[in-house]
Structure 1
Amino acid sequence: MTYTGERYQRAARYQTDTHQHSQHIELSHVDNVTDGLEAGEKLICVDLVEGATALSDYCHPAHARYVFGPEDGSISQEVIDRADAVVYIPTNACLNLAASVNVLLYDRMVKLGSIHASDELIIKSRDINNRTKVR
Protein backbone atom coordinates (compact mmCIF):
# COMPACT_ATOMS: atom_id res chain seq x y z
CA MET A 1 0.00 0.00 0.00
CA THR A 2 1.31 3.41 -0.95
CA TYR A 3 0.24 6.61 0.74
CA THR A 4 0.99 10.32 0.59
CA GLY A 5 0.84 13.09 3.15
CA GLU A 6 1.37 12.95 6.90
CA ARG A 7 -1.97 11.63 8.21
CA TYR A 8 -0.90 8.00 8.44
CA GLN A 9 2.25 8.82 10.39
CA ARG A 10 0.28 11.04 12.80
CA ALA A 11 -2.35 8.34 13.36
CA ALA A 12 0.29 5.64 13.88
CA ARG A 13 1.63 7.55 16.90
CA TYR A 14 -1.64 6.85 18.72
CA GLN A 15 -1.02 3.08 18.49
CA THR A 16 -4.55 2.18 17.42
CA ASP A 17 -3.31 -0.96 15.65
CA THR A 18 -3.52 -3.15 18.74
CA HIS A 19 -3.37 -6.38 16.71
CA GLN A 20 -0.23 -5.24 14.84
CA HIS A 21 -1.83 -5.78 11.41
CA SER A 22 0.31 -3.02 9.94
CA GLN A 23 3.37 -5.24 10.42
CA HIS A 24 1.96 -7.58 7.76
CA ILE A 25 1.23 -4.90 5.16
CA GLU A 26 3.96 -3.44 3.01
CA LEU A 27 3.62 0.33 3.35
CA SER A 28 5.49 2.94 1.40
CA HIS A 29 5.30 6.71 1.61
CA VAL A 30 5.66 8.71 -1.61
CA ASP A 31 5.50 12.42 -2.28
CA ASN A 32 3.26 11.93 -5.31
CA VAL A 33 0.87 9.04 -6.02
CA THR A 34 2.17 8.84 -9.57
CA ASP A 35 5.72 8.11 -8.39
CA GLY A 36 6.97 4.65 -9.30
CA LEU A 37 4.18 3.58 -11.63
CA GLU A 38 5.25 0.30 -13.22
CA ALA A 39 5.11 -0.41 -16.95
CA GLY A 40 1.53 -1.33 -17.82
CA GLU A 41 0.15 -0.19 -14.45
CA LYS A 42 -2.98 1.94 -14.87
CA LEU A 43 -3.64 4.90 -12.60
CA ILE A 44 -7.30 4.82 -11.51
CA CYS A 45 -8.76 7.65 -9.43
CA VAL A 46 -11.78 6.92 -7.23
CA ASP A 47 -13.60 10.06 -6.19
CA LEU A 48 -16.81 12.04 -6.64
CA VAL A 49 -15.62 13.90 -9.74
CA GLU A 50 -17.85 15.30 -12.46
CA GLY A 51 -17.48 13.26 -15.64
CA ALA A 52 -16.27 10.13 -13.82
CA THR A 53 -17.47 6.65 -14.82
CA ALA A 54 -19.87 4.87 -12.47
CA LEU A 55 -18.19 1.89 -10.80
CA SER A 56 -21.09 -0.31 -11.95
CA ASP A 57 -20.11 0.43 -15.58
CA TYR A 58 -16.34 0.21 -15.10
CA CYS A 59 -14.10 -2.63 -16.34
CA HIS A 60 -11.06 -2.99 -14.10
CA PRO A 61 -7.63 -3.39 -15.70
CA ALA A 62 -5.52 -6.36 -14.64
CA HIS A 63 -2.76 -4.14 -13.23
CA ALA A 64 -4.01 -1.01 -11.47
CA ARG A 65 -3.06 1.55 -8.87
CA TYR A 66 -6.19 2.93 -7.26
CA VAL A 67 -6.02 6.43 -5.81
CA PHE A 68 -8.79 7.37 -3.37
CA GLY A 69 -9.74 10.91 -2.46
CA PRO A 70 -9.45 12.00 1.16
CA GLU A 71 -12.59 12.08 3.28
CA ASP A 72 -12.37 15.85 3.66
CA GLY A 73 -11.31 16.86 0.18
CA SER A 74 -10.67 15.57 -3.31
CA ILE A 75 -7.90 14.18 -5.47
CA SER A 76 -5.91 17.03 -7.03
CA GLN A 77 -6.75 18.10 -10.56
CA GLU A 78 -3.14 17.30 -11.52
CA VAL A 79 -3.58 13.64 -10.54
CA ILE A 80 -7.05 13.45 -12.14
CA ASP A 81 -5.54 14.76 -15.39
CA ARG A 82 -2.85 12.04 -15.34
CA ALA A 83 -5.29 9.21 -14.55
CA ASP A 84 -6.08 6.48 -17.05
CA ALA A 85 -9.62 6.41 -15.64
CA VAL A 86 -11.69 8.18 -13.00
CA VAL A 87 -14.52 6.27 -11.35
CA TYR A 88 -17.06 6.99 -8.65
CA ILE A 89 -19.27 4.84 -6.46
CA PRO A 90 -22.91 5.81 -7.14
CA THR A 91 -24.52 6.56 -3.77
CA ASN A 92 -26.88 9.17 -2.36
CA ALA A 93 -24.14 10.37 -0.01
CA CYS A 94 -20.38 10.11 0.10
CA LEU A 95 -18.79 7.04 1.69
CA ASN A 96 -15.88 7.11 4.10
CA LEU A 97 -12.52 5.90 2.83
CA ALA A 98 -12.72 2.40 4.33
CA ALA A 99 -16.18 1.78 2.85
CA SER A 100 -15.06 3.07 -0.56
CA VAL A 101 -12.02 0.79 -0.61
CA ASN A 102 -14.14 -2.23 0.38
CA VAL A 103 -16.78 -1.57 -2.28
CA LEU A 104 -14.21 -1.00 -5.02
CA LEU A 105 -12.10 -4.06 -4.19
CA TYR A 106 -15.18 -6.28 -3.95
CA ASP A 107 -16.34 -4.99 -7.34
CA ARG A 108 -12.89 -5.74 -8.75
CA MET A 109 -12.86 -9.29 -7.37
CA VAL A 110 -16.33 -10.04 -8.75
CA LYS A 111 -15.69 -8.57 -12.20
CA LEU A 112 -12.25 -10.17 -12.61
CA GLY A 113 -13.58 -13.57 -11.53
CA SER A 114 -11.63 -13.84 -8.28
CA ILE A 115 -14.72 -14.96 -6.34
CA HIS A 116 -16.43 -18.23 -7.20
CA ALA A 117 -19.84 -18.23 -5.53
CA SER A 118 -20.82 -21.54 -3.93
CA ASP A 119 -22.19 -23.10 -0.77
CA GLU A 120 -18.60 -24.06 0.10
CA LEU A 121 -17.66 -20.38 0.12
CA ILE A 122 -20.63 -19.61 2.39
CA ILE A 123 -19.69 -22.39 4.81
CA LYS A 124 -16.05 -21.30 4.87
CA SER A 125 -16.92 -17.62 5.37
CA ARG A 126 -19.67 -17.66 7.97
CA ASP A 127 -19.56 -17.63 11.73
CA ILE A 128 -19.88 -20.95 13.60
CA ASN A 129 -23.21 -19.81 15.05
CA ASN A 130 -24.79 -19.49 11.60
CA ARG A 131 -26.11 -22.82 10.32
CA THR A 132 -29.24 -21.67 8.51
CA LYS A 133 -30.11 -22.91 5.02
CA VAL A 134 -32.53 -22.00 2.28
CA ARG A 135 -35.11 -24.79 2.07
Structure 2
Amino acid sequence: MRGYFAIGVEGVSKAFNVGNLVRSAHAFGASFAFTIDARLDKRQLRVSDTSDAGGHLPLYHYPDLGSLELPQGCALVGVELLDRSIDLPSFRHPLRAAYVFGPERGNLSPGLVERCEFVVRIPTRFCINVGVAGALVMYDRMISLGRFAERPVRAGGPTEAVPEHVHGKQIYRTRKE
Protein backbone atom coordinates (compact mmCIF):
# COMPACT_ATOMS: atom_id res chain seq x y z
CA MET A 1 0.00 0.00 0.00
CA ARG A 2 1.21 3.51 -0.76
CA GLY A 3 1.81 6.24 1.84
CA TYR A 4 1.43 5.75 5.58
CA PHE A 5 -1.28 6.10 8.18
CA ALA A 6 -1.83 6.29 11.91
CA ILE A 7 -4.79 5.54 14.14
CA GLY A 8 -5.77 7.52 17.22
CA VAL A 9 -8.56 8.05 19.70
CA GLU A 10 -9.58 11.02 21.84
CA GLY A 11 -10.94 10.84 25.39
CA VAL A 12 -11.13 7.06 25.52
CA SER A 13 -11.62 5.42 28.92
CA LYS A 14 -11.53 1.69 28.21
CA ALA A 15 -8.11 0.12 27.72
CA PHE A 16 -9.64 -2.86 25.93
CA ASN A 17 -11.02 -0.59 23.21
CA VAL A 18 -7.60 1.01 22.70
CA GLY A 19 -5.95 -2.42 22.71
CA ASN A 20 -8.38 -3.68 20.09
CA LEU A 21 -7.85 -0.58 17.94
CA VAL A 22 -4.04 -0.78 18.21
CA ARG A 23 -4.06 -4.50 17.46
CA SER A 24 -6.09 -3.87 14.29
CA ALA A 25 -3.79 -0.97 13.37
CA HIS A 26 -0.83 -3.31 13.69
CA ALA A 27 -2.56 -5.92 11.50
CA PHE A 28 -3.35 -3.35 8.79
CA GLY A 29 0.19 -1.93 8.80
CA ALA A 30 -0.21 1.40 10.61
CA SER A 31 2.96 3.42 11.17
CA PHE A 32 1.93 4.54 14.66
CA ALA A 33 -1.02 4.91 17.00
CA PHE A 34 -1.95 7.61 19.50
CA THR A 35 -4.32 8.68 22.23
CA ILE A 36 -5.40 12.21 23.14
CA ASP A 37 -6.65 12.92 26.67
CA ALA A 38 -6.96 9.20 27.40
CA ARG A 39 -8.57 8.37 30.73
CA LEU A 40 -7.41 4.80 31.11
CA ASP A 41 -5.00 2.56 32.93
CA LYS A 42 -2.25 2.21 30.34
CA ARG A 43 -1.01 -0.99 32.03
CA GLN A 44 -4.21 -2.73 30.89
CA LEU A 45 -3.28 -2.11 27.24
CA ARG A 46 -0.87 -5.04 27.31
CA VAL A 47 -3.65 -7.40 28.35
CA SER A 48 -6.01 -6.33 25.56
CA ASP A 49 -3.38 -6.08 22.79
CA THR A 50 -2.73 -9.75 22.01
CA SER A 51 -0.49 -9.00 19.00
CA ASP A 52 2.09 -7.05 21.03
CA ALA A 53 1.50 -4.08 18.73
CA GLY A 54 3.37 -1.86 21.19
CA GLY A 55 6.50 -3.84 20.36
CA HIS A 56 6.04 -3.21 16.65
CA LEU A 57 4.67 0.30 16.25
CA PRO A 58 4.94 3.43 18.40
CA LEU A 59 1.99 4.33 20.62
CA TYR A 60 2.00 8.01 21.62
CA HIS A 61 -0.08 9.37 24.51
CA TYR A 62 -0.87 13.10 24.27
CA PRO A 63 -2.32 14.64 27.45
CA ASP A 64 -4.44 17.14 25.49
CA LEU A 65 -5.23 18.33 21.98
CA GLY A 66 -2.67 21.14 22.17
CA SER A 67 0.16 18.64 22.55
CA LEU A 68 -0.82 16.53 19.51
CA GLU A 69 2.03 16.48 17.00
CA LEU A 70 1.83 14.81 13.61
CA PRO A 71 4.46 14.50 10.88
CA GLN A 72 4.59 17.34 8.39
CA GLY A 73 2.18 16.72 5.51
CA CYS A 74 0.07 14.24 7.51
CA ALA A 75 -3.66 14.98 7.15
CA LEU A 76 -5.74 14.63 10.31
CA VAL A 77 -8.97 12.79 9.47
CA GLY A 78 -11.74 12.72 12.06
CA VAL A 79 -14.26 9.89 12.04
CA GLU A 80 -17.59 11.16 13.34
CA LEU A 81 -21.32 11.06 12.55
CA LEU A 82 -21.81 14.71 11.57
CA ASP A 83 -24.03 16.22 8.90
CA ARG A 84 -20.99 17.69 7.14
CA SER A 85 -19.01 14.42 7.22
CA ILE A 86 -18.02 12.70 3.98
CA ASP A 87 -19.44 9.18 3.67
CA LEU A 88 -16.52 6.76 3.89
CA PRO A 89 -17.29 4.95 0.59
CA SER A 90 -16.96 8.31 -1.25
CA PHE A 91 -13.81 9.48 0.57
CA ARG A 92 -10.45 9.65 -1.18
CA HIS A 93 -7.90 8.75 1.48
CA PRO A 94 -4.83 11.01 1.69
CA LEU A 95 -1.54 9.16 1.17
CA ARG A 96 -0.36 10.41 4.58
CA ALA A 97 -3.16 10.37 7.14
CA ALA A 98 -3.85 10.11 10.86
CA TYR A 99 -7.39 8.90 11.55
CA VAL A 100 -8.86 9.85 14.92
CA PHE A 101 -11.95 8.45 16.62
CA GLY A 102 -14.01 9.72 19.52
CA PRO A 103 -14.49 8.20 22.97
CA GLU A 104 -16.99 5.59 24.03
CA ARG A 105 -20.39 7.22 24.49
CA GLY A 106 -19.16 10.53 23.16
CA ASN A 107 -18.00 12.55 20.19
CA LEU A 108 -14.81 14.14 18.98
CA SER A 109 -14.30 17.44 20.77
CA PRO A 110 -15.22 20.58 18.79
CA GLY A 111 -11.56 21.66 18.94
CA LEU A 112 -10.41 18.40 17.39
CA VAL A 113 -13.10 18.51 14.68
CA GLU A 114 -11.95 22.06 13.85
CA ARG A 115 -8.35 20.85 13.55
CA CYS A 116 -9.24 17.98 11.19
CA GLU A 117 -8.55 18.46 7.51
CA PHE A 118 -11.36 16.00 6.73
CA VAL A 119 -14.21 14.46 8.70
CA VAL A 120 -15.63 11.17 7.46
CA ARG A 121 -18.46 8.99 8.62
CA ILE A 122 -19.17 5.32 8.38
CA PRO A 123 -22.71 5.26 6.95
CA THR A 124 -24.41 3.48 9.84
CA ARG A 125 -27.63 4.40 11.64
CA PHE A 126 -25.81 4.94 14.94
CA CYS A 127 -22.32 4.82 16.44
CA ILE A 128 -20.46 1.53 16.55
CA ASN A 129 -17.59 0.30 18.74
CA VAL A 130 -14.36 2.24 18.22
CA GLY A 131 -12.39 -0.93 17.43
CA VAL A 132 -14.89 -1.98 14.77
CA ALA A 133 -15.00 1.55 13.33
CA GLY A 134 -11.22 1.65 13.16
CA ALA A 135 -11.05 -1.69 11.36
CA LEU A 136 -13.64 -0.53 8.82
CA VAL A 137 -11.72 2.68 8.07
CA MET A 138 -8.43 0.81 7.73
CA TYR A 139 -10.01 -1.79 5.47
CA ASP A 140 -11.51 0.95 3.29
CA ARG A 141 -8.08 2.61 3.08
CA MET A 142 -6.45 -0.68 2.11
CA ILE A 143 -9.04 -1.35 -0.61
CA SER A 144 -8.81 2.24 -1.91
CA LEU A 145 -5.02 2.60 -1.97
CA GLY A 146 -3.90 -1.00 -2.32
CA ARG A 147 -3.25 -2.72 -5.59
CA PHE A 148 -5.92 -5.35 -5.92
CA ALA A 149 -7.63 -6.90 -8.89
CA GLU A 150 -11.07 -5.63 -9.76
CA ARG A 151 -13.90 -7.71 -8.34
CA PRO A 152 -15.11 -10.31 -10.81
CA VAL A 153 -18.32 -9.50 -12.68
CA ARG A 154 -20.62 -12.26 -13.84
CA ALA A 155 -22.66 -10.26 -16.39
CA GLY A 156 -20.56 -11.34 -19.39
CA GLY A 157 -19.51 -14.66 -17.89
CA PRO A 158 -17.06 -15.68 -15.21
CA THR A 159 -13.73 -13.95 -14.83
CA GLU A 160 -10.40 -15.24 -13.66
CA ALA A 161 -7.73 -13.46 -11.59
CA VAL A 162 -4.44 -13.59 -13.49
CA PRO A 163 -1.14 -12.74 -11.78
CA GLU A 164 1.03 -10.09 -13.45
CA HIS A 165 4.18 -8.31 -12.37
CA VAL A 166 4.08 -4.51 -12.31
CA HIS A 167 7.11 -2.59 -11.07
CA GLY A 168 8.45 -5.74 -9.46
CA LYS A 169 5.27 -6.46 -7.49
CA GLN A 170 2.77 -9.20 -8.17
CA ILE A 171 -0.76 -7.96 -8.77
CA TYR A 172 -3.87 -9.70 -10.06
CA ARG A 173 -5.95 -8.52 -12.99
CA THR A 174 -9.22 -10.04 -14.08
CA ARG A 175 -9.58 -11.71 -17.46
CA LYS A 176 -12.55 -13.41 -19.04
CA GLU A 177 -12.21 -17.16 -19.28
Partners of 2:69 and 2:49 lie apart in 1 by 28
How far does residue 22 in structure 1 lie from its aligned partner after superposition? 3.5
1:41 correspondence with 2:74: yes
Query: 5+ residue gaps in structure 2?
Result: 1-32, 150-160, 164-177
How far does residue 24 in structure 1 lie from its aligned partner after superposition? 2.8
Partners of 1:101 and 1:65 lie apart in 2 by 11
What residue in structure 2 maps to residue 95 of structure 1?
128
Letter in 2 for 1:64: A
Q: 1:116 aligns with which of 127, 135, 148?
A: 148
How far does residue 119 in structure 1 lie from its aligned partner after superposition? 8.2
Instruction: Give TM-score scaled by structure 1 length.
Output: 0.74
How many residue pairs were aligned?
A: 118
Q: Secondary structure at the match of 2:120?
A: strand
Q: 1:48 to 1:8 in 2, by over 3 A?
A: farther
Q: 2:62 aligns with which of 13, 30, 34?
A: 30
Q: Once superposed, what is the RMSD of the aligned Cα atoms?
A: 2.3
Higher strand content, 1 or 2? 2
Query: 5+ residue gaps in structure 1?
Result: 121-135
What residue in structure 1 maps to residue 95 of structure 2?
62
Q: 1:16 to 1:64 in 2, by over 3 A?
A: closer
Instruction: Give TM-score scaled by structure 2 length.
Output: 0.58
